[in-house]
Amino acid sequence: MVHCPHCETELTEADDVEFLDMDSTTGFFTASKRFYLVGCGDCGAAIGSGVAGAM
Instruction: Tell which one of 2, 6, 19, 29 touches Zn ion (CB under 5 A).
Output: 6
Give the nearer residue to Zn ion in terms of CB position, either 30 or 43: 43
Q: How many angstroms separate the CA atoms of 2 and 53, rounded?
A: 22
Closest distance of CB 31 from Zn ion, Å = 32
| Interface of this chain with Zn ion, residues 20 to 39, rule: CB under 5 A | none
Of 33, 37, 43, 36, nearest to 8 (Cα)? 43
Q: Kindly tell me which residue out of 1, 3, 7, 52 binds Zn ion, with binding defined by CB under 5 A.
A: 7
Q: How far is Cα 3 from Cα 1, in angstroms, rounded to an integer?
A: 7
